[in-house]
Structure 1
Amino acid sequence: MISQHSLRRRTLLGAAAALGASALPGLAQTKTVLRISTPAVPGDWHAKMWTVFKDSLEKSAPGEFDVRINLNASLFKQGTESVAMARGNLELATISAFDIAKLVPEFSVFTAGYVIRDPAQQQKIFNGPIGAELFKTVTEKMDITPLATAYLGTRQLNLREVRKVRTPADLKGIKLRMPGSKEWLFLGEALGATATPLAFGEVYLGLKTGTIDAQDNPLPSVRAAKLYEVTKQIVMTSHLVDGLFIAISNKSFNALNPSQKQKVKAAAQAAAAYNNENRIKEESRLVEFFKKEGLQVTTPDVEAFRKSVQAAYQNSDYAKVWPKGLLDRINATQ
């Protein structure tokens, strides 16, 4: 037999549980929604890093955020994210230096060849006073706040036939495939080659048939597109160390309290660090992979390339929008 006291107690507990359950939807609605848009595919480190971001926030601010990751450009098309964030239609995304340079012209210095030497210097630049100054301008002009810098890759030359390449002069007459924009073609010419615009999807056949003599891409792209099947040499020019910037809408960021802002920034930095570490490891392993595939991997006089390419930019219209002394400050960052 159940006593009257026990029955009453169970009734009260049941009522309390029901009340708690009915309150759960209300609690869920108080979470701050953070939608992420990225063109990255699931296997890419740039996709995986967002899971690190989500996990980091869940650990530092349990129950405070509802992080929603949208891969494959399924939420916003690549290149449209910054506008969406500025309008308050999107919370977080990664944006390129090219995207930023459209509204902050001085940022175009980071689309030029041999401005950043390696991933380590990249982090020092953007985590130091140069980054702070430029990011402040980005925040003011674009209504977004950069939180961390994710390494995208270092572009190398990939040649159809073996050639001794020490300086830019050794690339004279080489038909080097570059993306079709004037900025990319300028870089190709600055490297000493004859820049030839060609869609990425046509590069494999172009190399196979001899329409082009060379192409440039980060090593992971060379493997993914199987370009090592139709080339015989990789020249480690390291002519463009590229990055993506994890950014948040000002509208979203300003709605957070100081503690939440700090936690979101820390989560972004943890995500970038995860990406950077793994992408650098992948690139280093790929050198051995290409050697095993029969390619010669050579290193030219990188300093000779750097001086020649930087001189070409400094004498161009591109450099006219760079703040005086900025390139010198970047070069001095060790």
Structure 2
Amino acid sequence: MAKPAGEAELTIVITTFNRAGYLSGLLESIKALDPAPAAVVVVDNASTDNTPEVLEAARRGFPVPLTVLRLETNTGGAGGFAAGTEAALADGAGWLWLMDDDVEVLPGAVAALRKWTGSYDCIHGRRLDGSGAPFFWQHRFVPFLGVHVPVRGNVFRDSPVFETNLGCFEGMLISAEQVRRIGLPDARYFINGDDLIYGWLASLDRPVAYVNDFVIRKVRAQKQIDLGIRHLNDSSDLGRFTSMRNRGHTARYLQVHGRYNRAGFALGTVLTAGKEILRLVAVERTLHGAGRLWAGWREARRILQDRSWSPTPPLPATRKQQV
């Protein structure tokens, strides 16, 4: 078990791409954290807006060390978190709090999460949506289907912690020790499913916790419909493509860990495609972009047949851990 966050350096790792306005708000919210993190790492995924200027201005007078890692190409959220996590580890982070650029942190978030770091290595706090209402995030990953499904009811009715088996990079807190055991996030996902599978890999090591403490507020508005148990947001052609393409990577991870069921996974692929078509019709009111699902499925088939594919490897232990 990792040391509690109060005894180890906590680093916030942010991945950003062309959202300078949201990023500025997130950095301002980090300034108000009490207690503060030890450091912040921002990965700029080759933004073409004024993100570099926002980051340069933020570095002047920022209350904790702010490292900016600008990539030459856009590697997506997955590549950004892989690069940021690696940089944070190199700088001595003991805990890494991973988050997208379109959220803001709540002032007491570090203290709220810290009380769980003596019991878990991968922790998610609760989020508020743009209107200030609780954001629904209570799922479990079903390896048989290769998809995550919502969990009904109040998961905190009998306990302040809900143990699950998936992750979300919109606020995942993970120990450096666990990152070394399971490896970096898989940059090949680019976007879509990278955090889900990373949380699943973490859960194979130790339980993943979802705790009844609000720590983050979402600030980017999206088109969505209410399905009762959850909301369905809008997407993009790239999102549709990767939702299907990354099924190939997920299948390979399931194979590596002996959890792949061909028939079940095929059913999960049909369900994934159906959800994306529903998203197109009900949320975006179009069928334009459905072809990207077919293209993604074909790429997934290529990944499944790629004999050179291998999972991201564990990282070398620190010298102290090797003793």
Smaller-chain TM-score bracket: under 0.3
The structure with more radius of gyration: 1
Higher relative contact order (CA 8 A, sep 6+): 1
Name the one with the larger helix percent: 1
TM-score (norm 2): 0.27
TM-score (norm 1): 0.27
